[in-house]
Amino acid sequence: MPLFAYTALNPTGQRVAGVLNGASEQAVLAELESRQLVPVAIKVREDRALSWRRRISARKLAGTYLQIADLLRAGVPVLRALKLLGGRKSSPALSAVCRDLAEAVSQGDDLAHAMTRHPEVFPPVHVAMVRAGEKGGFLEEVMARLGQFVQGQAELRGKVIGNLVYPLVLVGFGAIVLGVIFGVFVPKFKPIFAQVNPLPTVTKLVFGISTLVGTYGPITLLVLAVLAAALWSYTSRPRVRRRLAIARTRAPILGPILRSLAAARFCRLLGTMLANGIPMLAAMQIARDAAGNVLLEEAIDAAVESVRAGQTLATPLGASGLLTDDVVEMIAVAETANNLDEVLLTIASTIEARVDRMLGVALRLVEPVLLLLIALVVATVAAGLILPMTRLQAGF
């Protein structure tokens, strides 16, 4: 829905300004009337949530949650805490969000409702946890747990990205080297081998790749871009996405890592929400929307139906194949002992540590494989250029 910036008069005659989400200007007028505000001016404002999202890191958002928790623990009211954070200079984008939240709260909105106006900044799981904390009267604890949750997710993401930096640098460097070889070095040999007939097959292959990279480079890039766009469109279909998800999760090295990442994310999401008083079915629905894995979404759907029918959560999750037998057994025991939230968080920490170890092992295998592939391409180029030379010498 579009955002409307408004200026209005409150019952005491003071001028107030703010921003509201509304399907139309009439809906905003009705909302202002329900708040006993007399509108002076209303205009559509461009939604800046997306730009804020691009500039707000997860670590800064986690720090904001933890700061709010500290202020609430010290007895500072929510509105005052938001205004204090809105005055910070270190993160202008996040400060602007806090000021908008403070303005909404000052007009009588709940904090959770105010957060829904910025969906690109606050995911549904954050809003649900804050709403539960406000209703249950333990917002301070929710903010502390939410900050730890977001910080943990950011650290896990940072570990994964950090472990992938060297392989990506290696791939980029290899691509540059091969581009120079095929685009600059190989074409110099074409006039030399013009009298060699027939050329060896490997030489024809090398010269063909050189022509695509050098002579027809822009056309090759355009064709590759079109093919990539077509492939992206094709893989966006639900049936194809499911097949690719199955293939990825069954892959020899990548599969266990992806299964563990999906399981860790689900356990931490669900455990954090349950620990903050969100009902099981609502928490599972939010976890499903944030799963990011087709197979996990299907497993959560089956688990929701199982829980709704009064059955256990562990059985349908185990049938998905994303959770190992020991994890499924721990969930089953936790359901019986009525401490599912604690056990899920423990499982998430254990799986995340396991993912870190698996990534280390996988990357130790990936690096020599990449080097071997680059060496294989270089050896192919060398063979393609040396074989015609032997024929030239034989001719002389």
Secondary structure tally for the chain: helices H, strands E: 17, 3
Query: Does residue 299 surpass a pLDDT of 60?
Result: yes
* pLDDT surpasses 50 at 33: yes
Q: Which residues contact 293 (CB under 8 A, 6 or more apart)?
A: 245, 258, 262, 322
Per-residue pLDDT reduced to its tens digit, 372-385: 888 898 888 888 88
For the stretch 331-363, pLDDT in tens is 888 888 888 888 988 888 888 888 888 877 877
Owner of token pair 């089956």: 302
Architecture of domain 58-144: Up-down Bundle (1.20)
pLDDT above 90 (res 226) = yes
Query: Where would I find the H helices in 88-212?
Result: 92-106, 111-115, 124-136, 139-180, 201-210
Residue 197 DSSP code: S
Residues sharing a CB contact under 8 Å with residue 103, sequence separation 6 or more, in sequence order: 17, 18, 19
Dihedral sign for Cα 329, 331, 337, 343, please: positive
How far are the Cα atoms of 101, 111, 125 from residue 108, in angstroms, in the given order?
11, 9, 23
Cβ contacts of 288 within 8 Å, gap of 6 or more: 296, 297, 300, 301, 304
Q: How do residues 228-266 score in pLDDT, each as one tens digit?
A: 999 888 887 878 877 887 787 778 877 888 888 888 888
CA distance 94 to 98: 6
The DSSP secondary structure of 20-49, one letter per residue, reads EE-SSHHHHHHHHHHTT-EEEEEEEE---H
Tell me which CATH code domain 145-396 carries.
1.20.81.30
pTM of the model: 0.61
Q: Does residue 198 have a pLDDT over 90?
A: no
pLDDT of residue 227: 93
Residue-level pLDDT at 1? 47
Domain boundaries, the chain: 3-47, 58-144, 145-396
Up-side HSE of residue 72: CA atoms within 13 Å toward CB? 19
The region of weakest confidence among 20-24, 91-95, 194-198, 211-215 is: 20-24
Burial of 395 by CB count in 10 Å (0-12 exposed, 13-18 middle, 19+ buried)? exposed
Place of tokens 């990205």: 161
For 8-25, what is each residue's pLDDT tens digit?
A: 877 777 777 777 766 567
